[in-house]
Amino acid sequence: MKHFRLFMALAAVALTSGCAAPRASTASDPLESFNRGVYQFNDAVDKAIAKPVAQGYDAVMPVPGKMMVSNFFSNLDDVIVTANDLLQLKFNQAASDGSRFLFNSTFGVFGLLDVTSRLEKHDEDFGQTLGYWGIGSGPYIVLPILGPSTLRDGVGLYADSRPSKLRRVSHMRTRNQLYITKAISRRAELLEQEKVLDEAVIDRYAFIRDAYLLRRQSLVHDGNPPRQKYDEYDEEEDIEQKPAPIPATPSSKLEQAPTIRPVSLETKPALPTVGPQTSADDQSSFDSPRRNILKVWVAQQDAIR
């Protein structure tokens, strides 16, 4: 189960910091008024509790300790990733992610050490699986505490929580402590990326929403989402790029049109007859510009051929 999805969505900042965020779409956020209220509640909880605790954790915990905690929960997530690999018929990924979990859980001391760093780690969940099989994302929803989501991803979040290893811990206090530790670790990992929002973003809600939707679309299509058209901007672009139609020429005109024959540069075409009133100097002055025009015409015919 992915806690504090509000903060996890900020990870998209690292992926989109080099390009502008997509324009907001009212069609994808019909519940914007409600969502903004929930966002403000989540933001208040974050500033009052989650962020200070994460800052304290980041300051006190040594780097090797933070890496082992992150590796431990990441290894547990590989179980969910492997299951969704299989549901999406990605058998090579399933073999890779399953091997990661097997070797890290044994040789890596319950996942505290990442001994399979050479194997690529994938990011798959049931929300992506639904999208893989053609189910739309539905409206954008901000969940209390959990943060950004959609109707499809909310269903996927619940489905992924069922086989979670943390959920199967019978001792309630231990289970809750594991959930809280995971949330604090994830929140601490986003402290640096959050600075981009504080420095560059005016409407944090809109930016987080657009970054989340963009990132989820990229994950569903494995980093190659289909190109989206944006109303009048793309229409104008299509009009500019579309070549002008070539008018049809009647066959009768084609038959009457004179045949253009190539002219050899070695053979100088006959000049009009110069009358007795034309001197030799006039003839040379007339011949020079005509020769230049001839060269340009021949060059154009060569380019056409």
Per the model's pLDDT, the better-predicted residue between 15 and 51 turns out to be 51
Q: What one-character DSSP code corresponds to residue 221?
A: T
pLDDT score of 96: 95
Q: CB count, 10 Å around CB of 42?
A: 22
Helices (H), 242-304: 251-256, 280-304
pLDDT score of 203: 86
Helix axes 51-60, 172-189, angle to 10 degrees: 80
pLDDT score of 205: 92
pLDDT score of 194: 81
pLDDT score of 196: 73
Whole-angstrom Cα distance, residue 112 to residue 125?
A: 22
Q: Are strands 140-143 and 147-150 parallel, antiparallel or unpaired?
A: antiparallel
Q: Are 102 and 190 in contact (CB under 8 A)?
A: no
Whether 5 shows a pLDDT value over 70: the answer reads no
Whether 65 shows a pLDDT value over 50: the answer reads yes
pLDDT, tens only, 237-249:
555 555 555 555 5
pLDDT score of 237: 54
pLDDT score of 226: 81
pTM of the model: 0.66
Q: CB count, 10 Å around CB of 15?
A: 14
pLDDT, averaged across the chain: 77
pLDDT score of 63: 94
Whether 189 shows a pLDDT value over 60: the answer reads yes
Whole-angstrom Cα distance, residue 30 to residue 153?
A: 16
